[in-house]
Structure 1
Amino acid sequence: MSTLSLSIGRPTLADRLFSRSLATDIVLVTAGAAVTAVASQLYIPIQPVPITMQTLAVLLVGSTLGAARGALSMVLYMALGLVGLPVFSEGASGAAVLFGATGGYIVGFVFAAALTGWLAQRNWDKKFLGAAISFSAGTVVIFAFGLIGLAIVLGGTLEQTLAWGLYPFILGGVVKAALAAAIIPATWKLADRIDARRN
């Protein structure tokens, strides 16, 4: 007998840890948005785009929840910010953020979570190499949307846009992708060990 769920497709880490149900999915989507909101408050204030831990949260949420729930979690995160909750970096909120210098990155979160979730549903997240590729791809998606948004909002040259929105973040992006690629496979292994002890 199937249970109604927002999760579409193959099971992810969340499905390994929790039973699939609509109620569980709602809690997981909400938790993913909350984790991203908390991570956004861990920042280094540089202009026009601060360095934050949001990208790490997006990668972890997408991989853990899968494509549909991961993307929905980021949509919820955006919606919470739009209605005035201070969930964006530096405690910001409102439409001005989404139409500002960081808006493209936030929109990119939805697509990055969907991509890493889709890859996780194809078992890319169970080994370090596959997870590293998956999370690197998710990071590239965030930067692609972010740089396009930054160029539109600030109207700078290509070199200025890269200097404002890419170069300061390359090392951090690599470190965060590697960290996520270590965390998720390790969690899978831990879940396997727990199951083995139960059996």
Structure 2
Amino acid sequence: MSVAASPTTTPRYRVLADVVPGALARDIVLVLAAAGLVGLTAQVVLPVPGSPVPITGQTFGVLLVGSALGWRRAAAAMGVYLAVGAMGVPWFQGGTAYLTGATVGYLLGMLLAGALVGALASRGGDRTVLRTVGTMALGNLVIYAVGVPGLMIAGGLSLGAALTVGVVPFLVGDALKTALAAGVLPGAWSLVNRGRKS
């Protein structure tokens, strides 16, 4: 026999954003703040010699937003980020704007990656170090899966050349960002769970 949940029962948090009280107004604020965060992290740029794609903090921002907000809010945040940048606001990597050039595929891949990471996080994909590493790895894979074909089209590159300039130089940075996320996200959940028990 099932027992209906009491109105006073604390709901189980699916993602970190659910810890914040509120509903629609909360979601709007979180989506706009997340878009701004991604825009801010995109300004951390390290050019890669021989590659039209720089190393940025943007991918870390996208994956963090995905895990913290869940797939719907993350997709909305990335949609806002892309739409506003496409209209001319210079908050893509290094203060650029418009959906043109070698990085367009990566930007579109980030929208999908944010949604995927958010979906995985809502199923516990950011609760432990091992799960977080797997979640972030899949998010990065999605970014490359869309970004590399975009780079091939924009630059007229072969698959091998696109992998050489559009993936290989970023693998160490991706590993470092994943390690950072694996430390931050499970730690945040530990604090949340401790707060609920106290």
Inter-partner Cα distance in structure 1 for 2:178 and 2:74: 17
Q: 1:39 aligns with which of 38, 41, 61?
A: 41
2:142 maps to a residue whose letter is V
Whether the 8 Å CA contact 1:39–1:53 is kept in 2: the answer is yes
**Which residue number in structure 1 is paired with residue 105 of structure 2?**
104
Structure 1 match to 2:57: 53
> By how many angstroms is 1:20 displaced?
3.9
- Equivalent pair of 1:139/1:177 in contact (CA under 8 Å): no
CA distance in 1, matches of 2:194, 2:122: 21
What residue number does 2:140 align with?
139
Q: Which amino acid in structure 1 is aligned with residue 81 of structure 2? A: Y
Q: Which residue of 2 aligns with 1:28?
A: 30
Matches within 5 A, 1:171-190: 171-190=172-191
Match for residue 169 of structure 1? Answer: 170
Provide the rounded CA distance (Å) in 1 between the counterparts of 2:24 and 2:149.
35
Q: Which amino acid aligns with 2:161?
A: Q
Post-superposition Cα deviations, 1:25-79, rounded to whole Å, max 9, x if no partner, equal: 0000011111100000001023300100101111100000000101111111101
Quote the residue 2:160 is aligned against: 159
Displacement of 1:178: 1.9
Structure 1 outlier segments of 4+, above 3 Å: none
**Residue type of the alignment partner of 2:153:** I
Task: Quote the RMSD (CA, aligned, Å).
Answer: 1.2
Partner residue in 2 for 1:67: 71
State percent identity of aligned pairs: 43
1:2-17 map, 5 Å:
11-16=14-19
Distance 2:47 2:158 in 1: 23
Which blocks of at least 5 consecutive residues in structure 2 are unaligned? 1-12
**Matches of 2:95 and 2:185, distance apart in 1:** 28
Deviates more, 1:141-150 or 1:175-184: 175-184
1:196 Cα deviation from its structure 2 partner: 2.8
Query: C-alpha displacement at 1:189, in angstroms?
Result: 0.5
Counterpart in the other structure of 1:123: 124
TM-score relative to the length of structure 1: 0.89
Match of 1:79 in 2: 83
Q: In 2, distance between residues paired with 1:101 and 1:58?
A: 19
SS in 1 for 2:117: helix
Q: Give the SS at the match of 1:188.
A: helix
